[in-house]
Amino acid sequence: MKCTLISFMLLSVLVGTVYAGTHKFVHDDQKCPARTIKAVQNGVVKAFYADGKLKEEWTFKDGKRNGPAKMYYRNGQVYWEVNYINDRIDGMERTYYESGKKEQENTYKNGKYEGLATAYYESGKKERENTYKNGKYEGLETTFYESGKIETEETYKNGKIEGLATTYFEDGTIKRDAVYRNGQRSPDYPHIIIHMSALVICLAGVILLMKLGANRNTYLFYIIMSFNLPAVFSCIYEYKVDREPFDYVQVGLFIAMLTFFAIVIIKPDKKGKTLKKSK
């Protein structure tokens, strides 16, 4: 009965006498599944929520979507509004929060994003600003903290991130830099240097132990310790430079491991020496 009533309401608002094509309407009421009805040649088609409240409005001309189209929240506020020309979105697209505050503004040309696009916090402050060219990201994209301070800056070329991308703390200081080429991030040189430094320390230590005549267990301890150094160095680097939270778990496990291996693996000889070759 409810589905029949809604179908009648849909058909009752069709304006025009000649029908062409089909158009799907989906209601959130599970008892009324998606269905297809004929779209008008000229006029307006409306869709409703299961409780009868207006959900969508579409304007047709010459059998195609031409003119304004809108979608609504249950409370009656507009959620989405655009303009169609020959079944393609053209001009300004706007979306809104349920409160009625503006959420996004995008520009279309022949059905594709073109030009400036802006997103807003519900407070009205700008959240993101970027540009499109032929449906793809092009140029600078900037995101903002709600305070108005810049959060990120990224540059795009033909839809792919290119060049320097920077993330800022809210106080304006740089949190992180990265360089991209054709959408791919360039090598993370600070972390590469950290890992290479740890490897050099490990090799230098092994050579020193060889000269001192260390026993087998001491070698094992030193190598295990050295191969865990990069994680600890990275933790310190990210805490000091990137201002990431200090990874107490990682450092704590490293210290616990050092203590364990120092007690269990390094076995001194009867004279209390560990730097003695194993027989």
**Is there a single domain that holds both residue 94 and residue 180?**
yes
Which neighbouring-strand residues pair with 155? 140
Beta carbons within 8 Å of 251's beta carbon, 6+ residues apart: 232, 235
Rounded Cα distance between 197 and 200, Å, is 5
Of 186, 216, 251, which closes a domain? 186
pTM value > 0.75: no
Task: Supply the pLDDT for residue 54.
Answer: 92
Rounded Cα distance between 68 and 46, Å, is 12
**Is there a single domain that holds both residue 108 and residue 179?**
yes
CB distance 164 to 155 below 8 Å: yes
**Is there a single domain that holds both residue 171 and residue 110?**
yes
CB distance 54 to 45 below 8 Å: no
**Helix (H) or strand (E) segment spanning residue 209:** helix 189-212
Q: Is 62 left (phi over 0), alpha (psi -120 to 50) or beta?
A: left
One-character DSSP codes across 26-63? --S-TTS--EEEEEESSEEEEEE-TTS-EEEEEEEETT
**Is there a single domain that holds both residue 155 and residue 208?**
no
Looking at the domain assignment, is residue 273 inside a domain? no
| % residues pLDDT > 70 (the chain) | 58
Residue 233: pLDDT over 90: no
Rounded Cα distance between 40 and 2, Å, is 23
Q: What residue numbers bound the domain in which 159 lies?
A: 90-186
Checking DSSP bridges between strand 88-89 and strand 163-168, what pairing results, if any?
unpaired
Of 141, 161, 186, which closes a domain? 186
Confidence of residue 262 (pLDDT cuts 50, 70, 90): low
Between 265 and 220, the more confident residue is: 220
Looking at the domain assignment, is residue 38 inside a domain? yes
Looking at the domain assignment, is residue 82 inside a domain? no
Q: How many CA atoms lie within 13 A of 168 on its CB side?
A: 16
**Which pLDDT tens digit goes with each residue over 25-84?**
444 433 333 344 444 678 888 899 989 899 999 999 988 899 999 999 999 999 999 999
Q: 137: domain CATH number?
A: 3.90.930.1
**Is there a single domain that holds both residue 54 and residue 10?**
yes
**Is there a single domain that holds both residue 133 and residue 162?**
yes
Of 75, 99, 132, which closes a domain? 75
Residue 96: pLDDT over 90: yes
Looking at the domain assignment, is residue 19 inside a domain? yes
